[in-house]
Structure 1
Amino acid sequence: MVDLDEPIHVVAYDPAWAETGHALVRDISRQLVWASADVEHIGSTSVPGLDAKPVIDVQVGCASAHIPAVVEDIQRLGFEHLGPAGVPGREYLRRRSEPPANVHVMERDGQLWKDNILFRNFLISRPDLARRYARTKREAADQASTLLAYSALKARTITEIMAAARQAGRSET
């Protein structure tokens, strides 16, 4: 089994991330046309102005029966499969060649799919919370130079922002 932990660093937002994310979404969508998969650029690199690890995150949503074959097809694009990597309902793949990227495969329209979209969209709509999250990410990266420790340090802020996003979603309906 490949080790999930890896060195990380957080950098200032790069406007090129939007085009890189778009290109990766396009390439994966073409590879998975047979699966009628939905592919979205998610994570911090998808939020304009947000500091991030310079790694593009993409999520792929498909029918649960297609997940094993979708994972195989994404591996053909140069990604290594790391299994659920601690997140039930997700298959995690990563590529560290240029441009570095992560792919998260999950059931389309499942709770994890919806939460990732909600979090991204909420940060886009709330620059104040995106700035707060950026500060948290910088502080976490200053305290921890590896992925797992960094993720643990920012977990509380993510939980708080996600709760606010869910509350805002309930208010809008």
Structure 2
Amino acid sequence: MSNTTPELDEPIHVVPYDPTWAALGRALAERLAAGLRGLPGAVGGAVEVEHIGSTSVPGLAAKPVLDVQVGCAAGDVEAVAGHVRGLGFEDLGESGVPGRRYLRRRSEQSANVHVVALGGRLWADNLLFRDHLRAHPEAAARYARAKREAAGATGRLLAYSEHKAATVAELLAEARAAGA
């Protein structure tokens, strides 16, 4: 699916940090990991699950949507995505990010699952970005400003993502230069 798929675009809003997000993200990651361990073959043994995104950074304003990253062998992405679909998530394919399967659930606690190659560039970048924001409050504050500005200017997911893309790229470059 391309990143212009109408189903992908949705209304968004950014809210102040909610301290329950850490526990909710951890619980979702644990549920996914437990379910994936039960899969046959190599899939269950080579999977890691991490709470990522803004809801994983204490104090950071965010869309009230948990983001969880599932890392697995590149050849297992389809099987893992199939399992996540079976848990009630809608599969939106790569959604404009080659190498990533994007699944979402919109319910009382909305969530996104990103299935990527374990140890690959997307896996590493998402963890590096999260850890950089956690360790550098000034970077998190800059990102929060960009997020609020983007949400206020656009109100829609795709335009929001595009609006804050330069700030994300700058922060990721800083994280790489700092080594985390």
Q: Same fold (TM over 0.5)?
A: yes
Q: Deviations over 1:116-169 (max 9, x none)?
A: 000000000000110110011001111001000000110010000001000001
What residue number does 2:79 align with? Answer: 69
Map 1:131-170 → 2, pairs under 5 A? 131-169=141-179
Partner amino acid, structure 1, of 2:138: D
Is 1:48 paired with 2:52? Answer: no
Q: Which amino acid aligns with 1:11?
A: V
Q: Which amino acid aligns with 1:167?
A: A
**Distance across 2 between alignment mates of 1:137 and 1:156:** 11
8 A Cα contact 1:2 1:82, kept in partner: no
Q: Hey, what's the Cα distance between the residues in 1 that align with 2:166 and 2:6?
A: 27
- Structure 1 residue 9: deviation in Å? 0.2
Matched to 2:110, the amino acid is: P
User: Is residue 2:40 matched to residue 1:30?
Assistant: no
Q: Paired residue for 2:13?
A: 9
| Secondary structure in structure 2 of the residue aligned to 1:32 | helix
Q: TM-score, normalised by structure 2?
A: 0.92
TM-score scaled to structure 1, two decimals? Answer: 0.96
5+ residue gaps, structure 1, are none
Match of 1:102 in 2: 112
- Aligned residue pairs total 170
Query: 2:75 & 2:168 partners in 1: Cα distance?
Result: 30
User: What is the aligned-residue identity percentage?
Assistant: 58
1 CA distance for matches of 2:146 and 2:65?
18
Deviation by residue 1:5-44 (Cα, 9 ceiling, x = unmatched): 0000000000000010011001100110132210000000
Moved over 4 A (4+): none
